[in-house]
Every structure is written in C-alpha cells, then in structure tokens.
Structure 1
Amino acid sequence: MQSPFPFSAIVGQDEMKHALLLAAIEPALGGVLVFGDRGTGKSTAVRALANLLPKIETRKGCSYNCVPAHPSSECTICNSSPKPAKVKVTAPIVDLPLGATEDSVCGALDLEKALLKGERSFAPGLLAKAHRGFLYIDEVNLLEDHLVDLLLDVAASGTNVVEREGLSVRHPAKFIMVGSGNPEEGELRPQLLDRFGLSVDVSSPKDVKTRVEVVKRREAYEASTGSFCADWAAMDQKLQRRVLAARKLIPDMETPDSVFAFCAELCLRLGIDGLRGELTLIRAARAHAAFEKRSTVTLKDAVSVAPMALCHRLRRDPLDEAGSTARVSRALGEVSQMTVGNA
C-alpha cells in the first residue's frame, strides 16, 4: 500500500491545513468542511493528516476500533475468550462514497452468516470503521438527504443505533468528520452545514512559481514514494510532536471572561442563530492557542480563527452584497473597536 503524501510537503493551502490541524487537536470542534475546485489537495491533506496523529490501540481483527478496556458490546473479537493481542494501528480514514446505501454506512444483517449458518449476526458498516478516526465525505453537498439525517444523529450522539431486520444494535461511532465539495454543484443542507465546526475555501494557485512547485513535488512523490516521504519525515514528525503537545494543553487551557464576551458579542453582531457559533469559536481559539504552545487564550486567538468558525453560519442578507468573509472581517473590526473603547 502506497504511503500517503506527507502533510508538510503540501504546497500552500495554509488555511485548510491549519483548520485540519485544529480539528485534530480538538476533536470536539466537529470537523472541517472544505469547499473548492477539484485538484486542490483536499483529499491529499486529509489522508496525510492521519500520519500526524498517534496510533490508536485496539485488538487484532477488531472491526469497531474498540478501546481494549471498554469494548463495544457488539464486538465478538474484543469480547471473546481468550482475547486477541492488542495492536496499535493508524487512525482510520474512511471514505463515504456518494452511492453509499444506509446499510453500508450504519451496518446491517450479515447475509452470509444468515444464509450459510443460520446465525443472526451484525455486519458493521462505515461508521464503525471510522470510530476514533476520520470520516471523509467527498462531494458532501451531493449527499442524499436520508444519509444526511443519519450522519446528523450519529454526529450529535457519538453512537450508531441500528434497529431493523430483527436487529437491535448500538455501538460507539465517534469520528472527525471532514467534508469536501464544489459549491457550483449544489448547496449543503443548513442542518449539516452547521454541524461542521470549521469551514474553509480553497482554490488553485494563481502564480506560476507555486503551481510549478506543486507539480514537481507530486512528480517526485510518484517517481519514488519511499524516498520522497523519507525526505519529509523529519518535518512531519516535528509537526506531529507539536499536535500531541497541543492536545495535552487543551484540558487545562485558561479562557478569560473577556474572550467569552468577545465571542458572544461577535456572534450577536453577525446575527448567528443558536450558541454553536460561540462554542465552536471558543474551542477553535483554544486549539489555536495550544498549537502556539500557550496555556491561555487571547483575543488574537479568537480573531485568527473567527472566519473559519463563523463564515458558514451566516444567514443570507439580501441587503448586504458583501461575501461572508468580508462580513466577518467587518464585524471583527467593529467588536474589536468596541472592546478597546471599553477597556
């Protein structure tokens, strides 16, 4: 199996890479939505990110990626006696294809065992395989409505529930959801759009030098994958250590009341519905501060992540022709001035 393209070797697309790193540092963010042209490195970055995360511990042959100390009640492997050996594996990255059926996503009756052995057994689906890893949805804006509803339920609860065909199954399904798509091919349902913690837009490089470097690195990777990955291994390992250190800082991160007030005022100024905007903005600011090796969140942290945390949550304003990024930037300026004036 070919090694994924090194994360550190991806040219440009800094906002997308930063958003993915923040989601890896703080899984509670709710994942990342990436909109942009084809061929801009979206899927490459997601697959490369898995190598920056610590390997997860499970048992050999486990289909649910169970935590050995707390196995799913449905897992025959982890609940067998004697138990298989513990193994460490790379955090899974599971693709959810456009043509996926509900059975393939959430799991269904194992027909082979039912027909050959007369046993009623559950065959886990993509959600079980994505547990403790990533669920990558390409062309997420073209996803069928019934799958969108299913994902909303599982993303909110962290548990996949299957009750049909005489089965009643419940197993953990906690994953970082990453979606990508081309906005020209259709809009994303607001309910699912709001579930993504961060959203970024990507585009093809506009200058010759950057485009040449992208092509040269891809050519080098295809020509000699092992050698290319080895050349970038030190950079990836350095980034991995930084992500792991940031993860350890998150639980003890201090967030001053002034930051909470700033985030609330900003969301009010932008007319964002609900409180998910504030929650995501605070969590993203914490992850950003931790990535910068600090234990206290500042207003600058909140400002730096505000566009990716809030742009996709804005309601359309027919009287305001400015884009979402411009509206957030304008509100940031207004709230910052007010904060300084009240200081």
Structure 2
Amino acid sequence: MKNLIFPFSAIVGQEKVKKALVLNAINPSIGGVLIKGDKGTGKTTAVRALADLLPPLKVVKGCPFNCDPDDPTSFCDSCKMDESGEIQVEEKKMRVVELPLGATEDRVVGSINIEKALKEGMKALEPGILADANRNILYVDEINLLDDNLVDVLLDAAAYGINTVEREGISLVHPSNFILVGTMNPAEGELRPQLSDRIGLQISVQSILDIDDRVKIMQRRESFEKDPNTFREEFQKYQNQILENIIKARKLLKEVEVSQDMMKVIAQLCVDMGVDGHRADIAILKTSKTLAAYYKHHEVEYIDVEEATALVLGERFHKKSLDEDKIKKQIKNAVNEISDEENKGDDKKKPQNK
C-alpha cells in the first residue's frame, strides 16, 4: 500500500507554520500551536507531514495510552500493576489524532464499564481521543467552534498532562500529554481566551501570492499524485536532514543556558507589551531555548528571543502590528530600561559625600 502522505520538506512556503511545528516536535512543553488563516493554505498537510517525518515512539507493549517505557513515573495504572514484572517494548509510528467538532464528551475523555471497573479496575476504561493522543499530535480543525465543555476538557488535560474519567463515583486516570495543534478562521469567531492563553505559539497564514511558488505547488502536487513513492524518494535526503536537525536539537536543548540578564529582558518585554499573567514569559523562554538548540546555540541569544517573541506574541498583538522591527525596538527598549534600573541601583550603593 502506497504511503500517501506528502513530504514535509516538499511543502512550498508557509515557513512560520513549519517552524512552529518543528519547534514543538523538539520541545513539546512549548504548548502547541494555533494557526489562524483561510482554508486551503496547507495547514493540515503540514501537520500530517510532520508526524510522518518524526521517528517512531517507544511504547509499553499493549498499553492503550502509549506509556513511555523510559519514564516509569508517567505510567498508567495498568503499566504500574503489570504482574509480569517486565516491561515489553514496541515501536509505534507517531500519529495525528483528530478531535472532530461534533465529538461527544465520552468519545473524547473515554468511558467506564461500571461493572467491569468494580472487578478489574483500569481495564474497564474504554479509551477516548485523549488516550489516543498521548505522546502524539492532537489536531483540532476550527478549534474556535469547539463546544465549551470540550474546551474545558482540553484545558484540564493540557494543564495537568493527565485525563480523569469519572462515572458513578468511579474515577480512573491516565496520562495525556500531547502536542496540541489548532486551526481556525478568525472570520468565524474568536477562540475562548482561556484556551488561547494555554497554546504556546500563535501564527497567521495567508494564501501564497507569488506566481512562481503557486506554479511550484501545482507541479509538486501533480508529481506526487502521479507517483507518490518516486516523489517521496526525491525528497528523502531533505526529509532526513530535517529529522537529523530535530534529533540533534532535542539533545542540545538540555544543555542550552539562558542568562539572568536575558530572563530580565524577556520579563521587561512582556511588561512593556502589557501582557496579562506570566504564561507568555514562560512561553517565550521555552521557545527561545528551543530556537537556540535548533540553531546550535549553547546559550540563548537576542536573535532567539526576537524570533520567539514573534511566534508567541505576534498574533496575540496583531492589532498593534507587532512586526520584526517593532519587536527589535521593544527588546532594545527593555535592555535600556534594565540598564537604567541597574545604574540607579549602583548610584544608591555609592557612598554619599558629606
């Protein structure tokens, strides 16, 4: 059977979408990505292509929640209570799990066979979408149209990394860590602020207007549909290079340092931008470190913070036209303000002449 997934490296344009997805693949703790834009701009294609590109997951064999055999602290109750004493390991391809708008709450969180639960515990849980999504990509098209009760479920799972199923006084819990990718058309309504605030990166996409690029899109689609295997082989070396970059960045991420001064710049920047709460500060910090790892920097640099700020705050402050030049200006202002404060502090410490 032919693999009909379009190669990630063959996607023309949409660089911000691809960068945001790659950064979340390197560091899922960034918190996912919200993509705003019209239909037909390649959003779904990019998400599926990334999952196809990434290496397979090591999972506990037979576990419906894809528990990580290298992280016993995250095991579900079934894996913890495995009587064999040995953990069998298998590999699974990373998947894109879709959450349809019309899904019921039971379909999303799972359901419990009450009679079976009283006898067998965890085995009575009928896994839902959040179980399938654990350690995978959870994709929600038109996320702004999602029912409020499902938004609340997503908020809980995203915040705690677990999903709790409660029925008739019985409560079962399983891990649910996922890369959340949501898409929306702003013309159809805004996303609830509570959910928007939890998504790490937010970007806008538009249709490509360059004629040569539009022709290239048509040509590549024609070639792919005519002979998918040959087309994928043509782009395999580029696929391998992207994958190698992701794997290297994952390893380097643990070593990336961020100075106290750089943290002050991020904090001052968020204060100057009038950002509510502290999630944006943390998202910019995590994204900056991930970009540093991606660019092979061992310490976060200003260029990393600039790009991270655009990905985290750019769309949230789209009405203020927060472009690259304004971000650089804001960072420069933040650096100057911190320097002024430090100079004032030094002046106070100096002995006063009487």
Structure 2 length as normaliser, TM-score? Answer: 0.86
Cα deviations by residue, 1:133-180 (Å, 9 ceiling, x for unpaired): 110111101000000011001100001011114531101001110101
What is the CA–CA distance in structure 1 between the aligned matches of 2:226 and 2:218, rounded to whole Å?
12
In the aligned structure 2, how far is the partner of 1:201 from the partner of 1:297? 25
1:12 aligns with 2:8: no
Name the aligned partner's letter for residue 323 of structure 1: K
2: CA distance between counterparts of 1:162 and 1:328?
Answer: 44
The residue that corresponds to 1:25 in the other structure is: 26
Structure 1 stretch displaced more, 102-111 or 169-178? 102-111
**Which of residues 317, 322, 332 in structure 2 aligns to 1:326?**
322
Percent sequence identity is 42
- Counterpart of 1:339 in structure 2: which amino acid? V
Answering whether residue 93 of structure 2 is matched by residue 97 of structure 1, we say: no
| Residue 247 in structure 1 maps to residue 247 in structure 2 | no
Q: Which residue of the partner structure matches residue 261 of structure 1?
A: 264
1:219-238 aligned within 5 A: 219-238=222-241
Contact (CA 8 Å) 2:97, 2:138: kept in 1 or not?
A: yes
CA contact (8 A) 1:140 1:181 kept: yes
Q: How does 1:144-159 map to 2 (within 5 A)?
A: 144-159=147-162
Aligned 8 A contact 1:243 1:291 in 2:
yes
Residue 319 of structure 1: aligned partner? none
Is the Cα–Cα contact under 8 Å of residues 63 and 124 in structure 1 kept in the other structure? yes
| SS of aligned partner of 2:177 | coil
Larger Rg: 2
SS of aligned partner of 1:146: helix
Tell me if 1:72 matches 2:76.
Answer: yes
Give the 5 Å matches for 1:1-343. 2-68=3-69, 70=72, 71-74=75-78, 79=82, 81=84, 85-110=88-113, 121-314=124-317, 323-326=319-322, 329-330=325-326, 332-337=328-333, 339=335, 342=339
Can you give the 5+ residue segments of structure 1 that lack an aligned partner in the other structure? Answer: 315-321
Q: CA deviation at 1:327?
A: 6.9
Shift of 1:181: 1.2
Q: Residue type matched to 2:144 in 1? A: N
Deviates more, 1:140-149 or 1:212-221: 212-221
Would you say the 8 A contact 2:269–2:334 is kept in 1? no
AA at the equivalent of 2:309: A
Give the SS at the match of 2:303.
helix
Residues 36, 153 of structure 1: alpha-carbon distance in 2 compared, 3 angstrom cutoff: same
| 1:285-328 Cα deviation digits (max 9, x unpaired) | 111111011111011110122121113444xxxxxxx7244378
Deviation at 1:53, TM superposition (A): 2.5
CA drift of 1:4 comes to 1.7
Distance in 2 separating the partners of 1:241 and 1:21 = 12
Aligned counterpart, 2:345: none
User: How has the CA–CA distance of structure 1 residues 6 and 120 changed in structure 2, closer, same or farther, with 3 Å as cutoff?
Assistant: closer
Aligned residues: 332
CA distance in 1, matches of 2:157, 2:297: 33
> Does structure 2 retain, via aligned residues, the 8 Å contact 1:109–1:165?
no
DSSP-derived class of the 1:128 partner: helix
Q: In angstroms, what is the RMSD of aligned CA positions?
A: 2.6
